[in-house]
Amino acid sequence: MGQSTPSKKQIVLVVEDEPLLRMMAIDLVEDAGFEAVEAADADEAVKILEARADIRIVFTDIDMPGSMNGMKLAAAVRDRWPPIEIIIVSGHVRLSDVDLPERSVFFSKPYDWQTVTATLHRMARH
């Protein structure tokens, strides 16, 4: 019945408008053992989230063009898709925990790959 996959990888939606940084984030996610789905901005990310029920984690940059930035996307994800975990990154903004939606984590760019990988694995277990 349906597809058979040897081991079902959890899905991470990577939202980053800079193509090179998006590719690097996708490499990090895939190297950590997850399947990556990519979006170039928050509007595209919302369309993907509306179409797919299998996304487990959203990894988003804050600074993006379009109708919403990564913080607004994170708030929308928390509101509309409560089970999804959120990783927020930025090279320009510094956040404190009070600025973050519930069950989200912030990393400054350049972020430490090992720390982000550990966070992805911790989030995937919840």
Instruction: Give me the pLDDT at residue 97, please.
Output: 58
Q: Is residue 42 part of a domain?
A: yes
How do residues 55-111 score in pLDDT, each as one tens digit? 999 999 999 888 999 999 999 999 999 999 999 999 887 766 557 888 899 999 888
The boundaries of the domain holding residue 56 are 11-125
Q: Is 28 exposed, middle or buried (0-12, 13-18, 19+ CB in 10 A)?
A: buried
Q: Is residue 1 part of a domain?
A: no
Q: Is residue 15 part of a domain?
A: yes
How do residues 14-61 score in pLDDT, each as one tens digit? 999 999 999 999 999 999 999 999 999 999 999 999 999 999 999 999
Instruction: Assign residue 97 the CATH number of its domain.
Output: 3.40.50.2300
Q: Is residue 6 part of a domain?
A: no
Instruction: Give me the pLDDT at residue 112, please.
Output: 92
Q: Is residue 2 part of a domain?
A: no
Q: Is residue 5 part of a domain?
A: no
Q: Is residue 98 part of a domain?
A: yes
- The count of domains in the chain is 1
Q: Is residue 4 part of a domain?
A: no
Answer with the residue of higher pLDDT: 3 or 74: 74
Against a cut of 0.85, is the pTM above it? yes
Answer with the residue of higher pLDDT: 1 or 89: 89
